[in-house]
């Protein structure tokens, strides 16, 4: 093997190792630096394989950005989801599936929330678990949730307050872009960098103040109906995306993504891939 080839392999390997090291960081900006380093590794691979052609490196990078589109049109678009989703009581997942459930639940309870119930629902290949809490004095619901899809698990925490004006206000540390548009009467504050439950709660309260809301503007929530509120929010979002044309009805009681919805999904993925 020629010395130049070994040198090229070392350059690519160094970029890949640096990328993986950065991606393990909890700091969002360092993690994004890892994504940039990975793209650099792809570019170098294409550049070297085509004999030093910048076009080769560019094609490798563009190919990487096309992978999500292929997944969307050949897999996601074929999925079918129920029009009216039912959120029901269920047992929590095992410790192996959701190892952080107890620690996250403890954090929520330490902030004054009281455990209400364990619920969940299933959308095609997506299995969703949600543990619901309520803080009576703050008139706020907390959810410790886990989304499971294709072997990938996404834990997150969500805080929800409901205004007397009929508008729902939520703050979440969900780490990925939304797969549907939010309903007009559901304002969502995304705070992915939350370092703790206290941090997330403080940001949610700041979000409410920014919206001009005081405690007396929030509606008390019936703890017997928390799961029904969640179900109503989901159905309201689905109805909104149907009216926006991102979703289309398919058969009896089901919907799927339209081509417009596929482009929306792809744009969300692209924004997340290039966002630093």
Tokens of 266: 């792809």
For residue 171, pLDDT beyond 90: yes
Nearest-10 crossing angle of helices 197-210, 101-110: 50
Query: Taking the domains of the chain in order of start, what are their residue ranges?
Result: 3-74, 81-246
pLDDT band at 173 (very low <50, low <70, confident <90, very high): very high
pLDDT band at 117 (very low <50, low <70, confident <90, very high): very high
Instruction: Give the number of other CB atoms < 10 A from CB of residue 82.
Output: 15
Least confident segment among 77-81, 207-211, 241-245: 77-81
CA-wise closest residue to 18 among 51, 55, 44, 53:
44
| C-alpha span between 26 and 30 (Å, rounded) | 8
Instruction: Give the number of other CB atoms < 10 A from CB of residue 70.
Output: 10
Question: Phi and psi dihedrals of 98, rounded to 5?
Answer: -130, 75
pLDDT band at 57 (very low <50, low <70, confident <90, very high): confident
pLDDT top residue among 84 and 234: 234
Q: What is the rounded average pLDDT of the residues 34-55?
A: 75
For residue 25, pLDDT beyond 70: no
Q: Are the C-beta atoms of residues 120 and 129 closer than 8 Å to each other?
A: yes
pLDDT band at 136 (very low <50, low <70, confident <90, very high): very high
pLDDT top residue among 171 and 70: 171
pLDDT band at 271 (very low <50, low <70, confident <90, very high): confident
What's the pLDDT at 27? Answer: 67
What's this model's pTM, rounded to 2 decimal places?
Answer: 0.82
What's the pLDDT at 142? Answer: 98
| C-alpha span between 236 and 241 (Å, rounded) | 9
Taking the CA atoms of residue 139, residue 118, residue 249 and residue 256 in that order, the dihedral angle to the nearest 10 degrees is 110
Least confident segment among 1-5, 95-99, 181-185: 1-5
For residue 28, pLDDT beyond 70: no
Name beta bridge partners: 172: 158, 190
pLDDT band at 153 (very low <50, low <70, confident <90, very high): confident
pLDDT top residue among 145 and 16: 145
Tokens of 88: 């029901």
Question: Phi and psi dihedrals of 181, rounded to 5?
Answer: -70, 145
For residue 62, pLDDT beyond 90: no
CA-wise closest residue to 125 among 82, 92, 87:
82
Instruction: Give the number of other CB atoms < 10 A from CB of residue 229.
Output: 17
What do you get for the CA distance between the two ends of the chain, in Å?
38
Q: Any idea which residue has 């294409």 for tokens?
A: 46
Name beta bridge partners: 106: none
Task: Please provide the size of the chain in residues.
Answer: 276
Task: Walk across the sheet containing 247-249 and list its strands.
Answer: 81-82, 254-257, 247-249
């Amino acid at each position: 093997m020629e010395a130049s080839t070994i040198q090229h392999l070392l350059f690519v390997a160094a970029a890949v190792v640096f990328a993986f090291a950065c991606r393990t960081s909890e700091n969002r900006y360092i993690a994004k630096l890892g994504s940039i380093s990975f793209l650099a590794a792809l570019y170098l691979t294409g550049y070297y394989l085509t004999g030093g052609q910048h076009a080769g490196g560019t094609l490798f990078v563009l190919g990487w950005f096309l992978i999500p589109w292929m997944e969307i049109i050949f897999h996601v678009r074929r999925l079918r989801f129920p029009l009216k989703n039912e959120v029901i009581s269920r047992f929590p997942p095992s410790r192996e599936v959701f190892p952080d459930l107890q620690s996250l639940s403890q954090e929520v309870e330490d902030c004054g929330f009281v455990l209400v119930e364990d619920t969940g629902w299933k959308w095609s290949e997506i299995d969703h678990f949600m543990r619901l809490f309520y803080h009576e004095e703050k008139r706020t619901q907390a959810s410790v949730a886990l989304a499971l899809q294709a072997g990938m698990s996404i834990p997150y925490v969500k805080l929800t307050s409901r205004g007397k004006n009929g508008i729902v206000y939520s703050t979440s540390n969900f780490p990925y872009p939304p797969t549907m548009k939010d309903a007009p009467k559901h304002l969502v504050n995304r705070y992915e960098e939350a370092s703790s439950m206290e941090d997330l709660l403080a940001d949610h309260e700041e979000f409410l103040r920014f919206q001009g809301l005081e405690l007396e503007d929030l509606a008390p929530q019936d703890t017997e109906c928390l799961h029904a509120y969640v179900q109503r929010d989901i159905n309201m979002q689905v109805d909104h995306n149907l009216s926006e044309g991102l979703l289309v009805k398919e058969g009896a009681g089901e919907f799927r993504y339209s081509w417009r919805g596929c482009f929306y999904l792809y744009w969300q993925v692209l924004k997340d891939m290039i966002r630093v």
